[in-house]
Amino acid sequence: MNEIIKKYFRNNKLPHIWCPGCGNGIVLGALARAVDKLGLDQNKTAVISGIGCSSRSTGYLDFDTIHTAHGRALTFATGLKLARPELNVIVITGDGDCTAIGGNHFIHAARRNIDITTVIFNNNIYGMTGGQYSPLTPTKGKSTTSPYGHIEKPFDIPELAIAAGATYVARGTTYHTMELSKLIANAIEHKGFSVVEALSSCPISFGRQNKLGNAPSMMKLLKEKAISIKAAEKLPPEKLAGKYLIGELFRKQLPEYTEEYQKIINNLTEGGQMQ
Partner 1 sequence: MSQAFLVQGNEACALGALAAGVRFFAGYPITPSTEIAEILSKELPKVGGKFIQMEDEIASIGAVCGASLGGYKAITATSGPGFSLKQELIGYATLAEIPLVVVNVQRGGPSTGQPTSPSQADVMQARWGSHGDKGVIALSPSSVQETYALTIDAVNLAERYRTPVIFLLDEVVGHMREKLIIPKTPPKIIDRRKPNPGELPYTPGPNGVPPLPAFGEGYRFHVTGLIHDETGFPTGNPEVTDKTIRRLHSKLEDNIKDILRYSEYQTDDAEFLIISYGCSARSAEKAVKLGRAQGIKLGLLRLISIWPFPTELIMSKTKNVHKVFVAEMNYGQVTAEVIKAIGREKTEGILRVDSQLITPDEILSTVTKGVY
- Using CB under 8 A, which of 72, 142, 171, 182 touches partner 1? 72
Question: Smaller CB distance to partner 1: residue 55 or 124?
Answer: 55
Scored b (16 or more CB within 10 A) or e, 66-87 reads: bbbeebbbbbbbbebbbeebeb
Question: Smaller CB distance to partner 1: residue 80 or 229?
Answer: 80
User: Hey, which residues does 92 pair with through a beta bridge?
Assistant: 49, 119
Stretch of 145-153, 183-191, 234-242, 263-271 lying at the interface with partner 1 (CB under 8 A): 263-271
78 binds partner 1, rule: CB under 8 A: yes
Question: Smaller CB distance to partner 1: residue 108 or 208?
Answer: 108
Least separation in angstroms between CB 90 and partner 1: 12
Kindly identify the residues of this chain, within the stretch 117-176, that bind partner 1 according to CB under 8 A: none
User: Hey, which residues does 171 pair with through a beta bridge?
Assistant: 197, 247
Query: In angstroms, how far is CA 160 from the centroid of its own chain?
Result: 13
Binding mask 29-48 for partner 1 (x = CB under 8 A): -------------xxx-x-x
245 to 31, 114, 204, 261: CA distances (angstroms): 20, 25, 25, 35
62 binds partner 1, rule: CB under 8 A: yes
Q: Which of 25, 88, 74, 85 minimizes the C-alpha distance to 53?
A: 25
8 Å CB contact between 175 and 97: no
Stretch of 153-161, 197-205, 240-248, 266-274 lying at the interface with partner 1 (CB under 8 A): 266-274
Q: How does strand 117-122 pair with strand 88-94?
A: parallel
Stretch of 24-32, 58-66, 140-148, 161-169 lying at the interface with partner 1 (CB under 8 A): 58-66
- Please report, in angstroms and rounded to a whole number, the separation of the first and last CA atoms in the chain: 45
Q: Which of 230, 236, 172, 165 minimizes the C-alpha distance to 198?
A: 172
Least separation in angstroms between CB 275 and partner 1: 4
16 binds partner 1, rule: CB under 8 A: no
Half-sphere exposure of 79 (CA within 13 A, CB side): 7
Instruction: Report residue 188: phi and psi, to 5°.
Output: -65, -40
Stretch of 63-71, 138-146, 166-174, 209-217 lying at the interface with partner 1 (CB under 8 A): 63-71
Q: Helix 177-189 to helix 24-38 angle, to the nearest 10 degrees?
A: 50
Question: Smaller CB distance to partner 1: residue 21 or 59?
Answer: 59
- Using CB under 8 A, which of 1, 3, 237, 273 touches partner 1? 273
Instruction: Report residue 200: phi and psi, to 5°.
Output: -130, 180
Binding mask 211-240 for partner 1 (x = CB under 8 A): ------------------------------
- Using CB under 8 A, which of 75, 122, 186, 194 touches partner 1? 75
Binding site for partner 1 (CB under 8 A): 10, 13, 42-44, 46, 48, 58-59, 62-69, 72, 74-84, 86-87, 104-105, 108, 261, 264-265, 268-269, 272-275
